[in-house]
Amino acid sequence: MQPGVDLRRGLLLVGLALELACLLAFQRLGGARPDLGVALLLAAFLPYGAALAVARRLRGSIARLALAATLLLHLALLGRGPTLDDDLWRYRWEGRVVLAGHNPYRHTPDDPALAPLRDAAWSRVAFRHVPTVYPPLAELLFAAGVALGGGSPLALRLLALAGHGLSLALLAALLAGAGLPRRRLLAYAWNPLVVKEVADSAHVDPWMAAGVLAALLWVQRRRAARAPWPLAAAIGVKWVPLLTLPLWRRALGRRGVALTLLLVGLLLLPFAGAGRGLFAGLATYADWWVFNPGVYWGLRGLLDPHLELAASKAVAKG
């Protein structure tokens, strides 16, 4: 092996080690100091970017090194957290609710009917007055995580990691089908925010991503008739892909989009006993949750007077 190659591999390992150090420090310190946690998470992007730059310049296969680094980055974070969010505790709670035969769309966490299910972790569940905002397949994933791990947060993290592994495999297949270097996959596999969201927070987003990627793969392989099934599964995990349905019309056609919506409706059937409550939590989320509040309130302050003026003129015109 040439000295230059050895040097680049060494630099790659140093970059990944520094990224991991930032992530571990984020996990250890971020809970008590959110500002420091955010700074450490952002700092992890510097060695991450350097590692990607070095990886692009390495000749030959680095598949084993890439796989080992990806596993290490994720496995090292499995033992602690969640940091800077508490969704995992909601996942755990709703999984227990489903396994107990209750409907999380009908019962809020603070419903007295669910009092027998409360344990020490119940106090960590956020927004206990709001029913679930998650789609039906997400509820089944929560239940599976609790059933497999007895309520252990580690089981939910491992479940998220399994979904992440599937999404990475599908993304690799898409890159290969497009004739693009599989090494581009590292930009996602080593991304500090993605690592944090999967291994620390146990978010179910990787399963959503896997569904979308599987649908794209069927389209790429000219078998678009099969795409509605994984696309519906993705929507069944997170509602976000529902917003992209207009973009799928060209590939799937009207029938494909209609089939996707039909399949999503079928996924909701086991919880249909909640009636209008199926979307009560989601409606509350849409009404009250604010992201980037500084920007939001600034824009609202600028726009509200104009909107009120327009509304008053419309009323005056009758």
d(CA 197, CA 192): 9
Cα–Cα distance, 27 to 44 (Å, whole number):
12
Question: Amino acid letter at 139?
Answer: E
Conformation bin of residue 197: beta by default, left when phi > 0, alpha when psi is -120 to 50: alpha
Give the three-state DSSP class for 105: coil
Q: Is the pTM above the cut of 0.75?
A: yes
Q: Are 78 and 158 in contact (CB under 8 A)?
A: yes
Q: Across the chain, what does the average pLDDT equal? A: 90
Nearest to 17 by CA among 42, 46, 39: 46
What tokens appear for 19 in the block? 């990224």
Query: Is-contact 155 145, C-beta < 8 A?
Result: yes
Residue range 113-133: mean pLDDT, rounded: 94
Among 61-70, 229-238, 270-279, name the most confident range: 229-238
pLDDT above 70 covers what percent of the chain? Answer: 88
DSSP 281-312: HHHHHHHH--SSHHHHHHHHHHHHHHHHHHHH
The pLDDT, as a whole number, for residue 274 is 84
Residue ranges per domain, the chain? 1-60, 63-318
